[in-house]
Structure 1
Amino acid sequence: MTKPLNVIFAGTPDFAAQHLQALIDSHHNVVAVYCPPDKPAGRGKKLTSCATKLLALSHSLPVEQPVNFKESAAQATLASYQADVMVVVAYGLLLPEVILNTPRLGCINVHGSILPKWRGAAPIQRAVEAGDTETGVTIMQMDKGLDTGDMILIATCPITIEDTSASIYETLAQLGPKALLETLALMATGQHTRTPQNNNEATHAAKLNKTEAELDWQLPAITLHRKLRAYIPWPVAQFTYIDQNKTEHRTRVWQASVERVEHNNTVGTILSADKNGIVVATAKYALRLEIMQLPGKKALPCQDILNSRAQWFKIGESINGNIQ
């Protein structure tokens, strides 16, 4: 067993908390946990702690929640923990160079892609959206850039046609902690190597926006299917049905499949609607909608939705209703 390292952990969501749990269960010493300040949530806007903080408190670990690291006091507090390394996983705060250089071995980050591809905020979603067949986690030495640091270790996994961002998230939440512990074992013995990224191969994973969720039937069915899978669990792909009163009904699509059928119909036209789903014409082929969620309702198979809203989904008419 390698010598235990004194580790500062910084992270926010459940994905980060799963990495923290792996560190807690290891022989390494977690000397402090950093996470953003509590935020108002829910109807009552009650201050709510993130998953990482809750886990840290349950193990009686010191928790620090600075707004940023611009103040010398925050920098001094971090330095006082005399950490060997700082592990950062979906933290959400930028680390200035003084922080990056404070731990003896610097700061390392667990990033949800095979770098240099998909640097940025939404690497899992953009990989699924682009039709990538493989993704993974990269453990990198952090520098001043956005996910530009030297790579220490990469662990990969396939992306199948059934995968959504949610399922890949769960896969990486298992893959990441193992890769992290392997990296720390190498760092503890000084056997880790650092490979610079090829900036010419870099792509940017821009943060998701709600406006991207609206399905554009002008796109090919294969492209729409990728987007649909990429936007689960958020913001969830949707289309807007407009009724005779010009009232808009935004309907989410949770599951669909590609129908490789040739057609000469206007995009957005309903080609069939039965117990197998609602088939909609696209720029190439068609998209079979299988599980949908009407406004204010729970997600249901399309067969159940047709039982109550058959008038919305008539063959030969537009999936968007009275769009004129």
Structure 2
Amino acid sequence: MSNGLRVIYAGTPDFAVPALAALIESGHEVVAVYTQPDRPAGRGRKLQPSPVKQVALDASIPVEQPVNFREEADRQTLADYNADVMVVAAYGLILPQVVLDTPKYGCLNIHGSLLPRWRGAAPIHRAIQTGDKETGVTIMQMAAGLDTGDMLLKTYYTIGAEDTGATVHDALAADGASALMTVLEQVETGTLAPEVQDESLTCYASKLTKAEAEIDWSQSAVEIDRRIRAFNPWPVAYTKQNGQAMRLLMSSVVEGEKTSAEAGTVLAENKQGIQIACGEGVISISRLQLPGKKAMSVSEFLNGRSLSGEKFPS
């Protein structure tokens, strides 16, 4: 019976928490956790630990927060942990080859897409925005390039019409934790079956920006619906109403509906949604947020308010 692996875990945001929690509960030894330096957050701009750091502190695991790995001292610290493997999930740093080579079995990455389909910073959101029917998690052996290493295991998730960036994120985070346990068992038993990525099938999932969150109503209802769901919870799609940003959090395409109304025109409203003409088709907005207010359902919004006949700018 194995005594488990000595594991260094490197991650920063919420996506990386379930896998760390699973590792702590497993028979493996988490010898150290690496995470991004504390960042200022909130109105007081006080330094806040990352979600991963908080889990590590609660479990009394040593935490390292190098700015990068250019300093020899940081590389030596990593080597001194004498890890069998380093697991990386949304860490936020590009790891140089010397780091990838330090653990006995190298570095494994929990990547939120079905490689080689989406490489880069925002694979979950771009999959929804582009209309992919399926996504998943790939556990890969890390190499020097951007998400270029051999694939070790995949899990699959069907993207539904009501899925958002948040729901898919949470599902893949949980799936990644489970998949990691399987791959670590394969590392221990020497049964890994690496698969080389087909470079011809890759797309780059560029980082999300606030600039792309404003809705262009001249686009089709299908495209706008995907964008709204993909950008929930960040950067959150919005449209201008009386010069202010009205955030759009949930939507659906009104199937079979056609209109000759100008794109951006509010066609109808009821407790189920606000129906808006698009460049092609009609979209129904079911959840939104006004400046300085909490997110609310359309039924809550329509209490004392109306957008009937209004036209949003394209």
Q: What's 2:49 paired with? A: 49
Mapped pair 1:251 → 2:226: no
- Partners of 1:68 and 1:80 in 2: CA distance: 17
- Partners of 2:182 and 2:300 in 1: CA distance: 49
Q: What's 1:245 paired with? A: none
Give the share of equivalent positions with the same residue, in percent. 49
Q: What's 2:182 paired with? A: 182
Preserved contact between residue 56 and residue 62 of structure 2 (Cα < 8 Å): yes
Q: How does 1:286-305 map to 2 (within 5 A)?
A: 286-305=282-301
C-alpha displacement of 1:40: 1.3
Q: What's 1:319 paired with? A: 312
Q: What's 1:63 paired with? A: 63
1:314 partner amino acid: S
Per-residue CA deviations over 1:99-134 (Å, capped at 9, x if unaligned) read: 000111000100000000110110110111111111
- Partners of 1:206 and 1:257 in 2: CA distance: 25
Deviating runs (4+, > 6 A) in structure 1? none
DSSP-derived class of the 2:110 partner: strand
DSSP-derived class of the 1:184 partner: helix
TM-score normalised by structure 2 residue count: 0.96
1:54 partner amino acid: Q
- Partners of 2:221 and 2:24 in 1: CA distance: 45
Per-residue CA deviations over 1:199-221 (Å, capped at 9, x if unaligned) read: 10001111101111111111110
Deviates more, 1:98-107 or 1:15-24: 15-24
TM-score normalised by structure 1 residue count: 0.93
- Partners of 1:274 and 1:177 in 2: CA distance: 41
- Give unpaired runs (5+ residues) of structure 2: none
Q: What's 2:221 paired with? A: 221
Deviates more, 1:48-57 or 1:254-263: 254-263
C-alpha displacement of 1:262: 1.5
Q: What's 1:241 paired with? A: 241
Per-residue CA deviations over 1:66-123 (Å, capped at 9, x if unaligned) read: 1110011100110011111000011001111100001110001000000001101101
Per-residue CA deviations over 1:151-185 (Å, capped at 9, x if unaligned) read: 11111111111111111111112111110010000
- Partners of 1:188 and 1:168 in 2: CA distance: 30
C-alpha displacement of 1:303: 3.5
Q: How many residues align?
A: 313
Q: What's 1:142 paired with? A: 142
2:267 to 265, 271, 275: 271
2:31 partner amino acid: V
Preserved contact between residue 2 and residue 189 of structure 1 (Cα < 8 Å): no
Deviates more, 1:105-114 or 1:6-15: 6-15
Preserved contact between residue 3 and residue 188 of structure 1 (Cα < 8 Å): no
Preserved contact between residue 135 and residue 159 of structure 2 (Cα < 8 Å): yes
C-alpha displacement of 1:36: 1.3
Q: What's 2:207 paired with? A: 207
DSSP-derived class of the 2:167 partner: helix
Larger Rg: 1
Per-residue CA deviations over 1:232-287 (Å, capped at 9, x if unaligned) read: 11111110013xxxxx1210112222113122121111211233322111111101
1:129 partner amino acid: Q
- Partners of 2:7 and 2:271 in 1: CA distance: 55
1:318 partner amino acid: K
Preserved contact between residue 17 and residue 55 of structure 1 (Cα < 8 Å): yes
1:31 partner amino acid: V
DSSP-derived class of the 1:18 partner: helix
CA RMSD of aligned residues (A): 1.4
- Partners of 1:112 and 1:13 in 2: CA distance: 13
